[in-house]
Structures are given as structure tokens and as C-alpha cells.
A and B are shown apart, each in its own frame.
Chain A
Amino acid sequence: MGFLDRFLKAPSWGVHPEDHKRPAADAPLRIFPTPERVFMPLHQHVGGVARPIVLVGQKVLKGELIAEAQGNISAPIHAPVSGTIAAVGDVTAPHPSGMPFKAITIESDGANRWIDCEPLADPFSAAPEEITKRTAAAGVVGLGGATFPAAPKFALGKRLKVSTLIVNGGECEPYLSSDDRIMRDYPEMVVDGARLVMHAIGASEALVGIEENKPEAIAAMRKAAAAFPEVKIRPLPALYPMGSDRQLIKVLTGIEVPSDARAAETGVLVHNVSTCAAVHKAIRLGQPLVERIITINGGAIANPGNLYAPLGTMIGDLFTFVGLKEAPSRIILGGPMMGTPLLHDRIPIVKGASGILAFNAAEAFVPEAGPCIRCGNCTKACPMGLLPLEMAARIRVGDLEGAEAFALSDCISCGCCAYVCPSHIPLVQYFSHAKGELTAAERTKLRTDATKRLAEAKAARVERENREKAEAAAKRKAEREAAKAATAQPASVAVEKTEGASA
């Protein structure tokens, strides 16, 4: 790619935040020692909450099923360590509200003994459905952060005859390097996983998009994919939000996903590199998803880097392992652009946790918001081509429908607008608020509509019943009168008397 090419073909959207990836990305992967206790939340994925199938006091092995999937879109949960089930109860959710949610607590026995794993001998001669089934059973979900169960996505890809698998190694969020690390240390796993996914969905090629700020990962992946011409490594310009599926698809294939369609409908499917590695483990090793690489980074961390840790490990335990220079001023699950602020560190890591950031006071500083000067930087940065300033101006005065008319629903909450805003207006907060209000209003409307429908139906039914009753009564009366008239023809005086009494 020549200089001029880069200048002319570079996407016009996006931002270049300081990436802060090194030195954490260059530090060798460390294996986190088995913690004494893990807390495995039952809801670590998009969709139905898993249902626990173990009892307190029961012994489990590493990788044993402890909660099964419930519903079409759901994922099972497996024990990340061997030990004893200590409790099934509430822990703090990895959510800014700090709400409690259900988790299974396992006391580790320290042995870390695996269950008997059953690898699939020759997956490429197996039916694609077999890959999908085993991926579902292994509890694999999208590890880029979206945590959508992988198997239903495979099935969708197969049904819509997807031809291209896009493997997302963008990792455009600053600070994070877990995908970088998996591509550097386990490129064969990622490439094999990508080929397994291709087999599962029937795709003929895989495009692995990797940002140019990860040259080591690109080199390692090129080497691993050298034997497989269908797996193509595609370096991408380092630009946030390159890892967003719609932007990645456009840059790699030129296809623009219609605003009301899913990516699969345009013939492509996106899976994260870590997800591909998890599929590899599920099929080739028979191991369910119980561990992951997680980046621990930020100004408050003494030795930032990537850890290979069991899911359900408390964030505080990870911090103790890497050391803290100072008490963090903010803890974030995920990256700084879209991550979730956490209330404290007694929260377990989950399948979608690609990183935990501990910010020092300088990093956590939030400048005061000022008035919009209509500079238009948000418009230039928006990867969806929206007008954040116009939407925010309408949301500020409560005109949510007005904001919706500017295609608020197309906003992907990437945070580019709020990042570039010189007045530091929390635009994403405005949009999240408005989307929440609109969803709530929609739900209320559906409910009132339903109530109205029921009320109308009831009124109609009551009216009908009354009418039928009246008709029946009139009919009976007419019959009675007819009968009386027939029997008491001579005694007409008596009939008149009866009528007078009833009136």
C-alpha cells in the first residue's frame, strides 16, 4: 500500500486515540495460578440465563458442566477449576449498577484436574452440524466483548449460505492486547479455529483483519496461515473503531451492511480471533470455554500485561497478582472507549472480559462538559455517518422522536463522538439514555396496546353476552307468551293481570 493509496483510500471516519497497548502487549503471557475460589456467573452471554445443575457440596472436575443452556440463544457454563461447589448465590454483576446476579461458587482443590475430554478425531470429514453442536456444548460465545453465543451464529451463517468468514483481529480499543497476544502466542490455534468455523458455516474463504499496529501478530499469523491459501491475512489501518463488525466488513470486502439487516444477510460473518481459538479447543481438544487471556492494564498497575486466567476469578485477585502502584481511581471492564465502569474489584471475570483496566487519577479525570460549539468534529468522526450534535441537541430538550429521526437507532455507541468533542459533552450517555427511554416507551406502548385490546375485547364480550341474554330472555318470553296464549285462550283477563304484575 503506497503512501498516496493510504491517503486516498483511508476511511474518513474514526479517531486515533493514544493506544497505550505497549508495554503490556509485549510482556510475555503469564499463567495465573489457580485461585482458591471462583465465582461462575450464570449469565455471561447474550440470551437465556443458564440453569444450575449442581448441588452445594458436590465435587466437580475442571471443565464439568455446572449449568446448562436455557432457550434457543443461551450458553452452558462449565467449572473453571476442580473442587467443591460452595454456594449458588448472588455476586456483584460486572455492570455499572453493581446489581447482584446469580453465580456458582467453587472452592478449588488445587489439583486443577480436567474431566475426560473427547476431541473430535477428524473434524473436516464430520458434518458441519457436528462442529456447531460441539461449539454450543462447549459454551463458546463471542469473546470480543459481545458474548453472543457462537453456535446459533454458525447455524445462521449456514442457513444464509455465507461465503466469507471475517476473523476480527482488529482489537482497536486502546490498552487491550489479549487478541494480539493470542495471535502472537497461539497463531496455529486461531488459524485452525477459523478453518473449523469456515467448515461449520460452509464459507470458502476467511479474511483475517489485523490492525497495522500489531506487526508481530501479523507476522505470526502469516506464518501459521501459509499452508492454507483460503485463510488470508489482511493488515488494516490502525483506526478506532476498526473492530466494529460493520466497519470491518466495509473495509475488508467493500460490502455495506444495510441498516436493517444482519451481516450474515450480505454473505459475511464476523468472528473474533479469540472465539476462533476457543472453537479450536472445543473441537480439537474437547475442552469447554473455562479460561481466557485477559489484559490487565492501566496507570495504577505495577506490572501490566496479559494473564491466562480461569473464568470466575475475582478482579481483586488478578490485581494482587500483577501488583498495584496505587489504589485505582477507576476500574473498567473492557477498553476505555466502550468499556463498563465497575464499582469495586470484588467482581468475577466473565467470558467476554477481554481486559480489566485500573486507571490512576490522571487517566480517570473527566473534564467538565461545556456548550456545543457545533465544530462538527463528532460528525467527521462518526463511523456510521450520523450527526451526533443534532441528536444530542434534541435529546437535551426531551425531543426523543426528533433524535430518532436522525437515525439514533443506527448508533453503535462506539464513543468516537464523545472522544473527539472539544467541549467534552458525554454524547454516548445522551444516546444511551434516549435509546433506553425509547425502548421503554415502546414496551409501554405495546403493553398499553395489549391492555386496550383486552379491554375492548372484554367490553365487546360483555356487550355480546348482555345482548345474547336479552335475546334469550326475549325469546323465552315470547315462547312463554305464545304457550300461555295457546293454553289460556279463553281466560284473557288472567293474561292481562299477569302482564300488569310483571310490568
Chain B
Amino acid sequence: MSQAFGMPVAAPHTTTTNSPGRIMSLVMMALAPATLYGFWLYGWPAFYLWLITILAAMLGEAFCLRWQNRSAAPILQDGSAILTGWLLAVSLPPWAPWWIGVFGGLFATTLGKQAFGGLGQNLFNPAMVARVALLISFPVQMTAWVGPLPMFSVGAPGPIEGLLIVLRGIPPALDAVTSATTLGFAKTELSRGVDLFQSAVHTPALSFFGNRPGSLGETAAWLIAAGGVAMMALRLITWHIPLAMLAGIAIPAAIMHAVDPARYLDMGAHLLSGGAMLGAFFIATDYVTSPNAPRGQLIFGFGCGVLTYIIRTWAGYPEGVAFAVLLMNSMTPIIDTYFKPRIYGRDSKGKPLQTAN
């Protein structure tokens, strides 16, 4: 036998069957229960908005890739654009008009991701970039919440009606369902001088299952947390960022609530409301935009949590997860520089260890 065996290749000569596509698919599966619950809770308009947002995100990615003369299909198959669109969709008001989804989806993958060089290159979480862009540009549409109107229940829009709601806006007949979120209501009432005892927004029992006004897929806190735990079990994420972020919200919330319960919401309301759970398990844990060593992840997560609490409590917006995550994203390179893992045979400063004898 005298054949040659081609070009030499570098070791190792065996590799994992893991791939970015598999990782993204698993994350989407972990996100699916909370999303399906959102579809059920808010009906057909929510489903259409979700679909439109994902398609827009994929379109934005494909457009940028074709512009660079790269073939779009293989890169779209890695699922990252779908996941970006999905994460953005679940953070939107469930009955938002179609163009909110289109604008957000396109913004996320073009300016939020491809402008930086594509997968793995972006400094900021693309879904949160788009969410903040929408919130600043279209504050009315982005804070128009509907109360739960479960699919197939009396008065809920059917498939056609739901599509019309997304395309043409909410008809006057259904306007009554418009409502406010826990955090938003508390903020409005406090700004009017009504304290929390009087406004009686303490409704953690409702929040428990997510049957309340809120973003498309953010209200079912426990389903989101279950998805997060599943991701930990699959070793897609570690506990560091989610736990640190929830602690970052819970600790100041507990302290401030103890100091003045009339002015500050309790810990449970903070953890179960808004984007806290989604942020902790699915947004802040984004690989590309978070630190990659455990100590850095703890700092990053805690920073996200504390900033969320500060923005919710003292800043102009009732919800702060998106802003907090973006602010901490910008810190990621610095955190990575200063909090590296200890190297074998070296101390934490990188100096070689001393020999014992």
C-alpha cells in the first residue's frame, strides 16, 4: 500500500458532536414552555407578533450576510438569529403592532449584531439593544399592556381577529383590556404620591403563575426559571450569572423594603415581576456578551441585578433589566481582563508558585 493520506491536520483528531446550532436549539427548547404559556395567556396576537419578530430578525441577518457576499442559509441554520428574535419577542408587549416586531427584529440583527461582525463579535446583547431602541423610540406602544385574555376563552380574539389586531391595532371594543404591569403601576402611583399600602399592588399570588399583565413571555417566572434550571442541568450555562443577578435584585430589595415598606416593593414582587427571571437565566447568560470566568460572571451577574433594582426604583423607567444588562455588557471586557481564573502552578496574580523544598 502506498497511498498518501492528505494534508496533515492539527491534533486533536477527534471532536465533540456539540455545535452552536445544538446549543441554540436547546436554549430555545428551554424557552419554549414560558413562550407557549404566553401564547395561551395573551392569545393569537402574541403568537403573530412572535413570528413576525423572528422572521424580521432572520431577514436582517440574511440581508447583512448577502451584502457581504456570504451565503446566508448555512449561517441562519446556526439558529442565533432565531434565538435573538425570540428573546426580543418575549420581552415585547404581547399585543404590540406588527411594525414594532419588524423594526425590533431588523434592528437586533443588523445594528445589534452584524454591524459588529456577526456571531460572537457583538459587544451588546442584540435583543436588549433592540428592546431599548424600541422603548426609547416608541414609548407608547412599548408600554401598552393587555390584561390576560387566554386563547379560546370568551371574548378572546380568534386566529383571524388576532392577526388583524397585530396588523391594524387594537379595536376600540377590546380597549378595555389595556392594563398596567405591577412595576409600572407601582411607579405611577408612587409618583402621584400614593404609597404602596394604598395602591395595593402587592399581588405576588398572581405573579406566581404569571397570570397578569406583562411582556409576552416574561410573566411566567417559574416556567422561565424551570427552563433556566434545565439549561444548567444540560451544562449550557452555570449557576453563577443567574444566581448573582437574582441576588443583586433581591438583596437591595429586601433591605429597602425593610427600611420603608410604603415606598419600596418587596423582594418577591421584584424577583417575579418584569424581566428579572428572563434576564437572569436567558439574557445576562448570553455567552458572547458576558464574562467567561466564574468570578467575573459573579460580578457581572450581581452588577446586572443591582443596576436593575436601581433603575426600577429611582430612575425614570419602571423596568430596568434591558438597561442594566447593556451597561454590564460594556463592562465585560474589563471584567474579563481583571478576573481571570488562577492558572495551574501560578498564584492568583499569575506569578509562579514557590517550590516547597
Contacts and interface: CB of A to CB of B under 8 A. Distances in A.
B131 to A, nearest CB: 21
A338 interface: yes
Nearest to A364: B13
A18 B6 CA distance: 25
Contacts of A174: 14
A370 interface: yes
> Chain A interface residue count: which class?
35 or more
B355 A266 contact: yes
Contacts of B16: 419-422
Contacts of A428: 10-12
> Across chains A and B, which 4 residue pairs bring their CB atoms closest together, nearest first?
A429-B10, A96-B8, A415-B12, A259-B345
B341 interface: yes
B1 interface: yes
A419 B118 CA distance: 24
A259 B353 contact: yes
A394 B13 CA distance: 24
Contacts of B357: 161, 265-267
Nearest to A344: B4
Interface in A254-290: 255-261, 265-267
Nearest to A267: B357
B344 A379 contact: no
A466 interface: no
B287 interface: yes
Contacts, number: 175
B118 A422 contact: no
Contacts of B345: 246, 256-261, 384, 410
B195 interface: no
Nearest to B346: A259
B206 interface: no
A237 to B, nearest CB: 17
Given A259-B346, A261-B355, 4 more contacts: A337-B14, A385-B341, A407-B346, A422-B20
Contacts of A384: 343-345
B238 to A, nearest CB: 8
A78 B47 CA distance: 77
B336 A390 contact: yes
B288 to A, nearest CB: 5
Contact of A338 (B11, B22, B292): B11
A266 B356 contact: yes
A367 B15 CA distance: 9
B118 A371 contact: yes
A327 B3 contact: yes
A260 B271 CA distance: 48
Contacts of B287: 373-376
Given A261-B355, A419-B15, A345 B344 contact: no
Contacts of B342: 385
A415 B120 CA distance: 22
B2 interface: yes
